[in-house]
Amino acid sequence: MRSTAMLFAAAVAAATMSAGVAHADALDTVKARGKLICGTQSASVPYAYQDTATRSFVGYDVDMCAALAKGLGVALEHKPLSTEARIPELKMDRVDVVAGSMAYLPERAQQVDYSLQYLQGSIKVLVRKNSGIASLKDLAGRKVCASKGSSSAAIAARVLPNSQVLSFQDVASCYLGLQNEKVDGFTAGELILKRFELDSQKAGTPVVLLPEPTYVEHIGVVVNKGNPKLLAAVNKVIQDMDKDGTLDAMYTKWLGADSIYKLTRTFKVEPVDAE
């Protein structure tokens, strides 16, 4: 009887410990591992892409991953992801956080938690210069391409209800479709499209950005739900970066005066769903 009681007590203790491990905050896992696994997109200039000379990944989001790991006091393992794999990889615990230029959307916020805003950008539409399309209303009845799984695709379906929105595998496929006249517009983040616009001028097949945005994106680092300690730690790192100038320097390097885009940072570090 006594041995049975002891075994039962041991089983309860083991179950309790297992439950504790199962519900441990991801920050504890990161600290114990000594490494932050941070996901970004795999081919999105200037956010995260492979440098042709070094073959290493560089970009605004890659630098954000490095800053997060440094702020948490751990090493970094960078993991490049396809656009549509960002949330699934997080949900399967294959990455701890995603700094993947992931704009806030209410439906996404049902699956993951967002940090404070660390980036803001406009979604726009690229068209062929000779297409006769001068505004968003001119896209009625036209085919518009977006990268599969992107916020651009979700937003285009809402704000361009009279257009046929098609999802291609990635931004390169969309641009090729635009050049080959398989689609009439290509929607994505302004910086991605600006690069294609600049490149097209050299290639002799010019494309242009429509001036009005379809949406202004509020972008945060995402973590899996149920990890308040990790989310708070990420928020603190971003706030510290904002205070000590690191965030400004990163923006200047990739998007501002030191880049081809020459943009000026106007966004604040605040909740992504702030009005």
- Give per-residue pLDDT as tens, 134-187: 999 999 999 999 998 888 998 999 999 999 999 998 999 999 999 999 999 999
* Shared domain check, 158 and 34: no
What is the rounded CA–CA span in Å between residue 256 and residue 265?
Answer: 7
Looking at the structure, tell me whether residues 95 and 68 fall in a common domain: yes
Q: Do 126 and 212 sit in the same domain of this protein?
A: yes
Any idea which of 61-65, 116-120, 213-217, 243-247 has the lowest mean pLDDT?
Answer: 213-217
Mean pLDDT across the stretch 259-266?
Answer: 91
Other C-beta atoms closer than 10 Å to the C-beta of 39 total 27
Position 93 in a domain: yes
Question: Are residues 204 and 173 part of one domain?
Answer: yes
**pLDDT of 143-156, one tens digit each?**
999 998 888 998 99
Q: What pLDDT score does 201 carry? A: 86
**What are 50-101's pLDDT values in tens digits?**
999 999 999 999 999 999 999 999 999 999 999 889 999 999 999 999 999 9
Give the pairing type, strands 112-128 and 215-224: antiparallel
For residues 164 and 153, membership in a common domain is answered with yes
Please check whether residue 33 lies inside any domain of the structure.
Answer: yes
In terms of residue numbers, what domain contains 68? 26-119+219-265
Three-state secondary structure along the chain? CHHHHHHHHHHHHHHHHHHHHHCCCHHHHHHHHCEEEEEEECCECCCEEECCCCCCEECHHHHHHHHHHHHHCCEEEEEEECHHHHHHHHHCCCCCEECCCCECCHHHHCCEEEEEEEEEEEEEEEEECCCCCCCHHHHCCCEEEEECCCHHHHHHHHHCCCCEEEEECCHHHHHHHHHCCCCCEEEEEHHHHHHHHHHHHHHCCCEEECCCCCEEEEEEEEEECCCHHHHHHHHHHHHHHHHHCHHHHHHHHHCCCCCCCCCCCCCCCCECCCC
Instruction: Indicate if 233 and 175 belong to the same structural domain.
Output: no
- Express each pLDDT in 212-228 by its tens digit: 999 998 999 999 999 99
Taking the chain, what is the end-to-end CA distance rounded to the nearest angstrom?
64
Residue 226 lies in a domain: yes
What's the rounded Cα separation, in Å, for the pair 90 and 52? Answer: 28
Q: For position 177, which CATH number holds?
A: 3.40.190.10
Distance (Å) of CA 203 to CA 186, 188, 197, 200, 208: 18, 21, 10, 5, 13
Same domain, residue pair 131 and 187: yes
> Cα separations (Å) of 133 from 136, 160, 182, 198, 204?
8, 14, 15, 19, 19
Is 200 in the same domain as 261?
A: no
pLDDT digits (tens, 9 = 90+) for 2-40: 443 433 333 334 433 333 444 689 999 999 999 999 999
pTM, to two decimals: 0.75
pLDDT-derived band at 192 (thresholds 50, 70, 90) equals confident
Kindly state whether residue 178 falls inside one of the protein's structural domains: yes
Number of domains in the chain: 2
The reply to whether 8 falls in a domain is no
Examine the domain organization and report whether 144 and 82 are in the same domain: no
pLDDT of res. 15: 37
Q: Tell me how far apart the alpha carbons of residues 226 and 230 are, in angstroms, rounded to a whole number.
A: 9
Alpha-carbon gap, residue 270 to 259, rounded angstroms: 25
